[in-house]
Amino acid sequence: MPYYRSVGEVPRKRHTQFRQPDGTLYAEELVGQEGFSSDSSLLYHRHAPTAILAAEEFAPPTVTRVPNLPLKPRHLRTHKLDGTGADPVLGRQYLLANDDVRIAYVLADRPSPLFRDATGDHCLYLESGSMRVESPFGVLDAVAGDYVVIPTSTIHRLVPTGDEPTRLLAVEAAGHIGPPKRYLSVRGQFLEHSPYCERDVRGPDTPLLVDGEEVEVLVRHRRGWTRYVYANHPFDVVGWDGHLYPWAFSIHDFEPITGRIHQPPPVHQTFQGPNFVICSFVPRKVDYHPAAIPVPYNHHNVDSDEMLFYTGGNYEARRGSGIEQGSISLHPSGFTHGPQPGAAERSIGADFFDELAVMVDTFRPLDLCDAGTACEDDGYAWTWARKP
């Protein structure tokens, strides 16, 4: 995250003696990206964060990928995946994936295990419900409409809260996720033309200070998964400072960029990752040229697959196609896509769109995973051929 935070107790100078009340040293831990050459944070533990008692290979749920063949647009109905509930890490049902990103959905009603993903950052979007994100950095509370970014290798636990289960879209990167570079200064400050800024971003405010012994942590790494038993609970941090930590941002704080004629998807960009972007479509005033057509024009993105998760309101360009709350559309590179028949004419004269959606555009093809195939609407590809 592009700004500095200091939480709890830290010494005035880094890498100097910082002692506990009994005179022993706190254990300093540097969490950093790109081998000491990028953002980092310093954490101060009561116990050694390196002390493990056991390690064994762990077999996670399998994920099968198949190419999008025959090449065609797809419609996935995530609410068809509803079951009895699951935990928000191991219960994820994977929909789409490539070597850069995996996209999953989960209806969660119980806490996850302690988990660390050493392969990349996560961006979690809460469709509904609420959740507490616990980590060595402290607690971060999230509600419907929040994005939560969890940096690579952060041990964390996701705890659904409230009376209803938490519906969660998980975007798992093979690298780092952050704000678009064009919205940041050379020193990492949000610029004036950015659709959100530091005031909209939330991070943990107080340490958790959990004490405990012999706790299990699941770790996904580049060779598979391992279950560790740590000698002490990793949330024993008394203080930390730096630029790297879990953070949250509400889609409702995204300020839409509008114009006299239809604005292209890059104005909705909210995050960037390795070979993909995440965009937010929010309620907004639409095109005000007297001859404007507010819905998108037909377009053929030759370099990217476009995935759109519909999470509220009414999406005018897709009316009549069966799109509903929780739907995901996939419009692949190699296929021209656009509004449903009649949508362009119906949109003329509209001055406001009440829509809420999260888009993931990838620059390598997305494969279909087991859960994506299981909840597909097989008739979606042919809806453009229907008469309005």
- Annotated binding-site residues for Fe cation read 299, 305, 337
CB within 8 A of 187, min separation 6: which ones? none
CA dist 275 and 341 (Å) reads 32
Identified catalytic residue from 15, 252, 262, 331 = 262
75 is catalytic: no
Known binding-site residue numbers:
299, 305, 315, 337
CB within 8 A of 32, min separation 6: which ones? 38, 39, 40, 41, 244
Known binding-site residue numbers for homogentisate:
315
**Which residues are catalytically annotated?**
262
